[in-house]
Chains A and B, each alone.
Chain A
Amino acid sequence: MSEDVAQREWPLWEVFIRSRRGLSHQHVGSLHAPDAEMALRNARDVYTRRSEGVSIWVVPAAAVVATSPDEKDSFFDPAADKAYRHPTFYDVPAEVQHL
């Protein structure tokens, strides 16, 4: 066994759980596991002890691509002034139903 393997911590996995049918998977936290099979099992043991899930995803944390804080303004601010995308932007006479 190389020194290298001995020292290395098991990789980090992000855990997503569907709490019941009809809902999306939601990020619940992370854990360490040597591989995907064990990551799924550990996720089941750690994050669903109280029947919190009907389906689990695990994703290597290293595989998650995220926006960086530097890009934040250019990514998200342009959407802020497009109020016309939201239904509340429009005036509708009070007597109109089902709109």
Chain B
Amino acid sequence: MTQDQRTAPDRFQTLVDNDERIEPRDEMPDAYRKTLIRQIAQHAHSEIIGMQPEGNWISRAPSLRRKAILMAKVQDEAGHGLYLYSAAETLGVDRSELLDLLHAGRQRYSSIFNYPTLTWADMGAIGWLVDGAAIVNQIPITRCSYGPYARAMVRICKEESFHQRQGFEILHTLSHGTPEQHAMAQDAVDRWWWPSLMMFGPPDSGADQSKGHTAQSMAWKIKRFSNDELRQKFVDMSVPQAGVLGLTLPDPDLHLDDETGHYRFGEIDWSEFFSVLKGNGPCNAARMQHRRAAHNDGAWVREAATAYAEKTRARTAAGAA
């Protein structure tokens, strides 16, 4: 069979298998398109909902330097949301549709943002752990089979490298500061460690291999590694870093397995994960309420700009006639 006689799905899978990128106007299986829209939208929603827990501390940052860094970081997240919505729109959906689905609770965002930021040290823990986990998740997506998603992710990963460092720096300073500051840092790490491990999603290797969407997403090269592989990578990175920070990780079972060179960690409480996912986390309702309020309060502004654009167009047309 020559190239030309191949059916469309074949051509699609051949491109994917050859590690070539799928681009917006290419033929692609419906399920591939749907999976991507869902995943990219969820990723975009996570960026913009993720602005809230940190936005919560902009007004209270304890130094002007920290205030500038935090403001720039939260603003970056809005930018990252925009890059991702832009990637999703190449698949034939409108950003407004995706936002409507988010506001209606029909599309998700990462559950991690349903936990509250209670002290300044949470800014450190989010940067170090949450952004750290996000980066481990995102780096493989820079090689994802869908071009616009991969390119957005390259940009995001490049910009995010400062996010994790500033978080680490916050915790390092606190941990080596006053006893109160050290306690604040330890408390934040205690609260954010397990939710960060849950960010990689439920187990999907070994006995759980057939669960979830992992197998199909891997065949499509949307996903390159299993949740469990990425989680292990994150743990292996984080444990020595915690040592440098002078902070402990809240897991009595955590130990180095000499045979494999990997850190073994304790049982993750997946019932908590699913409960938060279902909407029962401490901040689910508040995050959605905040987001909807911003959207609704801004409606008159967006309408005004549209009306002005139409008036201007009409005036220009009348002037030209």
Q: Which residues of A contact B (CB under 8 A)?
A: 1, 5-6, 8-10, 12, 28-32, 34-35, 38, 46, 49-50, 66-69, 73
Contact = CB atoms under 8 A, between A and B. Distances in A.
Nearest to A38: B305
Nearest to B75: A49
Contact of A35 (B4, B79, B309): B309
Nearest to B72: A49
Nearest to B83: A29
Interface residues of B, number: 28
A33 to B, nearest CB: 8
B286 interface: no
B82 A34 contact: no
B305 A1 contact: no
Interface string B88-107: 01000011100000000000
Interface string B18-52: 00000001110000000000000000000000000
Contact of A49 (B79, B303, B305, B312): B79
A69 B303 contact: no
B70 interface: no
B27 A69 contact: yes
A38 B302 CA distance: 12
Given A5-B306, A10-B302, A49-B76, A66 B96 contact: no
Nearest to B302: A10
A30 B87 CA distance: 8
A5 B307 contact: yes
Contacts, number: 51
B250 to A, nearest CB: 36
B303 A35 contact: no
Contacts of A34: 302, 305-306, 308-309
Contacts of B152: 29
Contacts of B82: 29, 31, 46
Nearest to B25: A69
Contacts of A9: 94-96
- Most chain B Cβ neighbours within 10 Å, of A28, A67, A68, A73: A28
A1 B303 contact: yes
18 contacts: A1-B307, A5-B307, A8-B306, A9-B95, A10-B302, A10-B305, A12-B89, A31-B86, A34-B302, A35-B309, A46-B79, A46-B82, A49-B79, A50-B159, A68-B25, A69-B25, A69-B26, A69-B27
Nearest to A35: B309
B89 A35 contact: no
Interface in B268-321: 299, 302-303, 305-310, 312
A50 B156 CA distance: 12
A5 B94 CA distance: 16
A10 B76 contact: no
A6 B303 contact: yes
A38 B301 CA distance: 13
A12 B87 CA distance: 12
B57 to A, nearest CB: 21
B86 A30 contact: yes
Contacts of A6: 299, 303
Contacts of A31: 82, 86
A86 B301 CA distance: 55
Contacts of A35: 305, 308-309, 312
A96 B8 CA distance: 48
A39 B305 CA distance: 12
Contacts of B96: 9
Nearest to A68: B25
B79 A29 contact: no
